[in-house]
Structure 1
Amino acid sequence: MHIRKLITGLGLAGLLLLGGCSNNKKSDSGQSVKHVGVLQVVQHPSLDKAYEGFKKGLKEEGYVEGKNLKIDYQNAQNSQDNLKSMSEKLVNEKSDLILGIATPAAQSVANATQDIPTVVTAVTDLKAAKLVNSDAKPGRNVTGTTDMVSIDKQTKLLLSIVPKAKTIGVMYNAGEANSKIQVDLAIKALKKAGVKVLVKTANTTNDVQQVTETLAGKVQGIYVPTDNTFASASSIIGKVVKEKKIPLVAGSTDQVKTGGLASIGIDYEKLGEQTGKMAAKILAGKAKPASIPVEKANELKLVVNHKMAKALGIDPKTIKAPK
């Protein structure tokens, strides 16, 4: 009799303990709460804006953090070990949806789960990154937005600024697949235009300054794609190119504000907002990632750093978007 009561009591205690460990799916007001995990590869303006835009997009569709939405934000600070452990954490928490910001984070999440709905943003090529079967028909648990822009227009912009250039420099982290795709396109476009191309790589932000200084002494202009390593060190790059009087066109408009001269690029906050609205459809049960086509930025814009232009002796009004 006493043993039976003891067993029953232990069973109830165990159930209560398990209940305490599970995700709370109801708010204080009784609303259903969606749990969204976020993994960002590293902190820099473009990716930070993509995250803020993502939350804005969700809010516009009725998902408000603190009311019916709980977000677990993780930043890997460019560490592969962190990416793996943080991805596993978000999966083990049984998130209703996971957001991967930038290619390394997106791939890490995709490797961690083939079941939890996943959206990604700031990824150059989702198919090349093996995240989807195709942009039109993802076919898996992943969809999202690409930040691929016209590399042809960006290289033409640079050459219009330095029309007499004989050699153009290109800098990137060879370990970032998204950067390699852009650099290959840039090299092809520049060579087609009849200029020589000098390529330098850096694996960490610690190497960026030396690479920039070396390259700046041998070229008449520099192109940097939307590379996370170089974007994280954009202020360092800016000091070097200003001192060396070398025009730099960046893949990201945000990098222009701190280290470049100009760019034709996207607004990462708006791109994140698009992604948030895609996520809202999934959370509402209106669609699944497999059937939501990959989206690209709705608009591109020319951004010119006027202070940098004047420091380089260039009239900012002469910098125009190529047709």
Structure 2
Amino acid sequence: MFGMRRREFIGLAGAASMWPLATRAQQWGKIYRIGILEPVSAVRNASNLDALRKGLRDFGYVEGRNLFIEYRSADGRAERFPDLASELVGLNLDLIVTRGTPATMAIQNATGTIPVVMATMGGPGAIVASFARPGGNITGVITFSTELTAKRVEILKELAPDLSRIALLHNMGNPAVPPEWEETRTAARSLGLQAELLDVRSEGDLGRAFELAVRQHVDGLVIGADGLTQMHQQTIIAFAARNRLPAVYPAREFVEDGGLIAYAVNYPNLYFRLAAFVDKIFKGAKPGDLPVEQPTKFELMINLKTAKALGLTVPPLLLARADEVIE
């Protein structure tokens, strides 16, 4: 076992959270219980959770009144997901929200009855039968991680035109990742670049991956979206800075933390949209009848301070396309 499991209770409204469930039920009607299974802690996931809370409030679900949330994090260690999934399934929940293919598959293996709303990157067949009619107990939104990989390689080359050898730093143990590696290789080849794979499946793999990148004279990095890379984002950003490597990241948090550039789905927007799925299911809809939705909002973020430290001049056209610039 892994010692005491993380239990994070999100934003319960003070004293109201201490009242007996029956008392609250009399005042507000049914109390809904949602579980959340995530790769990273609630602190690291704060902006996404805030967006989910706002969406739920818009539909009338308020923590401490008619909503109770149980949060579980694997803290970047995917091997923890099966135990955490079993724990959540045993809590008599009305619905479970998941992020990422490993978390979603763990819940899928643990229950075929509790409704699941996912934000995940697997294509049709990875989790659900089809996006139009997912069937079963799972629906939600996809993150287009595979589809965005080629665009990230193009943006990195645009920002650092002298690149010759890039590497994808990602967890190939994640079932959704091998297609991203193929996309990386194809995109690199089309731009005249060599592509290397830095496969990181545990914290101990990071140091070896960094050494390999130096030995192979990698001069640019593409960072994948996985619980492991999210959990160790500061370590990855520090390595890139120390070795003066331009890197493109899969989420805004990396750029806010000092990373060079990110092109990604707007995750808070995705989490906000998850609330509509939750509301429909609570009102009687079957998850399998709710089509899986695609992202509609993307964002390009550039850290000019980091670009300057790397001696890079951001092309005016790329700068004009940016949704947010950190100076």
Same fold judged by TM-score > 0.5?
yes
Q: Is there any run of 5+ residues in structure 2 with no aligned partner, and where?
A: 1-20, 323-327
1:219 aligns with 2:218: yes
Find 2:169's aligned residue among 150, 168, 171: 171
Give the deviation of 1:48 after TM superposition. 4.3
| TM value normalised by structure 2 | 0.83
**Aligned equivalent of 2:51:** 53
Find 1:125's aligned residue among 104, 118, 122: 122
**Aligned equivalent of 1:142:** 138
Q: Which amino acid aligns with 1:83?
A: F
**Aligned equivalent of 2:204:** 206
Distance 1:271 1:210 in 2: 34
Q: Which amino acid aligns with 2:140?
A: G
Aligned length: 298
**Aligned equivalent of 1:292:** 290
**Aligned equivalent of 2:269:** 270
**Aligned equivalent of 2:310:** 312
The within-5 A match list for 1:230-241 is 230-241=229-240
Alignment CA distance shift 1:90-1:231 (3 Å): closer
**Aligned equivalent of 2:14:** none
Give the deviation of 1:213 after TM superposition. 4.5
| TM value normalised by structure 1 | 0.84
Q: Is there any run of 5+ residues in structure 1 with no aligned partner, and where?
A: 1-22
Alignment CA distance shift 1:26-1:81 (3 Å): farther
Q: Residues 205-258 of structure 1: CA distance to partner in whole angstroms, max 9, x if unpaired? A: 233244234314612211112122122211111112112111001122222222
Q: Residues 126-179 of structure 1: CA distance to partner in whole angstroms, max 9, x if unpaired? A: 5343x2111111011100111114222211101112223221111111111223
Distance 1:116 1:25 in 2: 25
Q: Which amino acid aligns with 2:172?
A: A
Whether the 8 Å contact between 1:45 and 1:254 is mirrored in structure 2 is no
Whether the 8 Å contact between 2:24 and 2:65 is mirrored in structure 1 is no
Whether the 8 Å contact between 2:75 and 2:231 is mirrored in structure 1 is no
Alignment CA distance shift 1:94-1:271 (3 Å): same
Q: Which amino acid aligns with 1:99?
A: V
Distance 2:258 2:43 in 1: 12
Whether the 8 Å contact between 1:208 and 1:230 is mirrored in structure 2 is no
1:258 aligns with 2:257: yes
Alignment CA distance shift 1:30-1:60 (3 Å): closer
4+ aligned runs moved over 6 Å, structure 1:
none
Give the deviation of 1:99 after TM superposition. 1.0
Partner of 1:29, secondary structure, is helix
Question: Considering only aligned residues, what root-mean-square deviation do their CA atoms show, in Å?
Answer: 2.4
1:113 aligns with 2:107: no
Q: Which amino acid aligns with 2:136?
A: R
Higher mean displacement: 42-51 or 235-244:
42-51
Q: Residues 57-83 of structure 1: CA distance to partner in whole angstroms, max 9, x if unpaired? A: 111111111111111111222445532
1:35 aligns with 2:72: no
Alignment CA distance shift 1:101-1:247 (3 Å): same
Identity of aligned residues (%): 26
Alignment CA distance shift 1:181-1:54 (3 Å): farther
